[in-house]
Amino acid sequence: MMMWKPELMLLLVFISLADSAVPKEEVEGLEQILALMGATNWRLNANSCQLEMIDQMQKPHPEAEAKVLCDIDCNNGNSTNCHIISIVHKYHSLGGVLPPELLKLPYLKNIDFAYNYLGGSIPSELGSSQLQSISLLANRFSGKIPGHLGNITTLTYLNLEANNLSRTVSSELGKLINLQTMILLSNRLTGTLPPSLTELINLKDFRISDNNFSGPIPNFIENWRQLNKLELIGTGLSGPIPSSISVLNLTDLRICELSGPTQRFPPLDNATGLLTLVLRNCNLSGDIPAYIWQRRDLQLLDVSFNKIIGGISGDITCRSLRYVFLTGNMLSGDIPDTLLIEGATIDLSYNNFTLQGPGRPTCRPNMNLFLNLFKSSSSGNTLQDILPCTEDAKCLR
């Protein structure tokens, strides 16, 4: 059997380190980052740029993910341009902190540490990074959303959903002119939305639901001409929905639980590509504009619990509709056959439609859709209102 001399062993180790794809300082920096987050079961293979498990862990979440990505040059054997650009560690119950040592990876563009137990504050050092995407979804960060994030001018995606952050949204975030997605759901944010957010002209996705903001929905949203998705559900903001929304070509609009004055249906003529429209409990009055029923790609319409009157247009051309919720309004008139789309779920309960009884289109047997007509009309017969399609709505003593 061949015996290795100590000198040769040292030489091989030296050559291995010298030929490693990822620079030594980045490998060491990543080890510090993982240790401070509590991910002590992993190490980086500097040659393959792959995270490898070194200690057996408890069975992880089915969606658990742990990986590091490097430059494309690493795959070409170009060690001089091989750098760590992405770290993903999701669903691993990490109980540490978000470490300032992230700055030891100067080429880092993406971090995704969603669904862990990371706590403490978001470090101010992060403001000196060149990150493009930050996801800290569902952790235990506290304190206020740091204004220094506004210094990351390269940032295009920011998700701080479901944490314990408090206070206000910093006006410094208005510096993020390249930001395309901002998700601040399920925090304890208060105060008004700072006017500096008007500078986010490249924003495509804005979600701030489940917070405690104050003041009206700001008119400056009209400056977000690239916006595709707007979600304001239980934000604490008040109405009315600004008429300036008319300049946006949205595909997904969700606004719910608005206090404030009664208003007409917001102008959405320009939103020809609408897929989802939810305006639940927004103090809407008047009728549903006819053009809403002609949005060919519309899949979900929810305007329940408002004060909407009038009827449903008979000219319904949006054949993609799968969910229609008109619950708790004052709609009247006939229910058009064109609304009864095969495979759809339709809730017309608690309205004033023409009485639906046996022989009406809505009461045809064996229809392939879910249709709720509970108290959708008033007949003066309580049992008939509850069971509108019954042949004999009488209750024997």
Of the listed ranges 160-174, 222-236, 290-304, 367-381, the least confidently predicted one is 367-381
Burial class (CB within 10 angstroms; exposed 0-12, middle 13-18, buried 19+) of 252: buried
* Mean pLDDT over the full length of the chain: 88
The answer on pLDDT for 256 being more than 90 is: yes
The answer on pLDDT for 391 being more than 70 is: no
Q: Which residue has the higher pLDDT, 102 or 361?
A: 102
Ordered by start, the domain boundaries in the chain are 19-333
The answer on pLDDT for 383 being more than 50 is: yes
Question: pLDDT digits over 260-294, tens only?
Answer: 999 999 999 999 999 999 999 999 999 999 999 99
- Of the pLDDT bands very low, low, confident and very high (cuts 50, 70, 90), residue 396 is low
The answer on pLDDT for 79 being more than 90 is: no
Encode burial over 160-177: b for 16+ CB neighbours within 10 A, e otherwise: bbbbebeebbbebbbbbe
CA–CA distance, 128 with 148 (Å, rounded to integer) = 8
| Coil, strand or helix at 101 | helix
Q: What is the mean pLDDT of residues 81-95?
A: 92
| Coil, strand or helix at 222 | helix
The answer on pLDDT for 173 being more than 80 is: yes
**Cβ atoms < 10 Å from Cβ of 377:** 19
The answer on pLDDT for 309 being more than 70 is: yes
The answer on pLDDT for 21 being more than 70 is: yes
State which fold the 19-333 domain adopts: 3.80.10
Q: pTM (2 decimals)?
A: 0.87
- Quick one: three-class SS letters along 28-58? HHHHHHHHHHCCCCEEEECCCCEEEECCCCC
Instruction: State what percent of residues in the chain have pLDDT above 90.
Output: 72
- Of the pLDDT bands very low, low, confident and very high (cuts 50, 70, 90), residue 84 is very high
Of the listed ranges 35-39, 55-59, 143-147, 169-173, the least confidently predicted one is 55-59
What pLDDT is recorded for position 71?
87
For 148, phi and psi rounded to 5 degrees? -65, -15
CA–CA distance, 189 with 171 (Å, rounded to integer) = 13
CA–CA distance, 173 with 122 (Å, rounded to integer) = 14
| Coil, strand or helix at 191 | strand
Amino acid type, 61: H
Of the listed ranges 93-97, 103-107, 169-173, 384-388, the least confidently predicted one is 384-388
Query: What is the side-by-side strand order in the sheet with 263-264?
Result: 263-264, 284-286, 307-308
